[in-house]
Amino acid sequence: MKVIISQFAKIEPNSRSFNKYINNECKKQKIDLIVLGEYTSSSFFKEYKQKDKSKIQKLFIEQTNYFTQLAKKYSTTIVAPIIEYKDNKVFKSIMIANNSTKTSFYQAQKLMSMEHWNEEAFFDNAKKAKEPFIFEVCGFKVSAIFGWESHFDEIWIKLNKKNVDIVIVPTASTFNSNLRWARLLQTRSFLNNCFVIRVNRTGEYIENNVSWQFYGNSFVALPDGNLGDMLGQKDGILVCDIKKSILNEAKNIWKFR
């Protein structure tokens, strides 16, 4: 299965760089899955000085149409974190668009509530636990959860019970945390014998004259716990070949699922 990891600061319908990368690659070969980082299809939530619902609604409609059309154009599946507008409420969600007529949304069930990063106060997501959203691509069972959610054992237990093969983890990580993320997601991939694709955005956010650098370094953690393909800190894409043989070998040796 061919997967494009899209590592950018911003992805919009008029994003020349992203559109050029995707168009060129999809002309070369069949791409089965395209994954985006967190807060790339919308502004970082702290950049909204107040919950401007009209602006959020407009962008949500534009981005939903854009990714839906892109998925149909290239006969692929797109996993895009998005700020979802529904029933006059705002949700931190992941959009899954494919070549069919149906587009699905997974709403985060765990949100950060720290003083410097309080998503819980901004978004209207329900706090109750729920089953992960699972879809199929090329015979692989795939799910997507946000980076913060990847810290919680109960979510991984559900993913393991559902026999998920690939977990997409979009992040907007900063503050030189890459080594910690690599250790965490390598451990998750190993203990669940699955692929974990971490897609981290690039770019910058400035607060009180302090620069928050979103550093990229997206990677694939393999089912045996090792690191596979990875990107550096600049904008760009990475085409990964996800193989069933690697998955089956790890499952047969370690038998964690």
How do the domains of the chain map onto residue ranges?
Answer: 2-254
Residue 143 has pLDDT above 90, yes or no: yes
Residue 13 pLDDT class (50, 70, 90 cuts) = confident
The Cβ-side half-sphere exposure at 90, using a 13 Å CA radius, reads 20
Give the residue among 238, 240, 228 at the shortest CA–CA distance from 138. Answer: 240
Average pLDDT over residues 213-234: 97
Residue 99 has pLDDT above 90, yes or no: no
Residue 100 pLDDT class (50, 70, 90 cuts) = confident
Residue 248 pLDDT class (50, 70, 90 cuts) = very high
pLDDT at 14: 83
- Report the share of the chain in percent with pLDDT over 70: 99
CA angle 243, 249, 250 (to 5 degrees): 100
Residue 151 has pLDDT above 90, yes or no: yes
Residue 181 pLDDT class (50, 70, 90 cuts) = very high
Average pLDDT over residues 136-162: 98
Residue 49 has pLDDT above 90, yes or no: no
The residues near 220 (Cβ < 8 Å, ≥ 6 apart) are 5, 195, 196, 197, 198, 227, 228, 229, 230, 240, 242
C-alpha to C-alpha distances, 224 to 144, 150, 248, nearest whole angstrom:
20, 18, 10
pLDDT at 120: 96
pLDDT at 51: 74
Give the residue among 195, 176, 38 at the shortest CA–CA distance from 111. Answer: 38
The strand pair at 202-207 and 210-215 is best described as antiparallel
Residue 196 has pLDDT above 80, yes or no: yes
pLDDT at 173: 97
Query: To the nearest whole number, what is the mean pLDDT of the chain?
Result: 96
> Which single residue is written with the structure tokens 């991939």?
189
Residue 87 has pLDDT above 80, yes or no: yes
CATH 3.60.110.10 fits 2-254, yes or no: yes
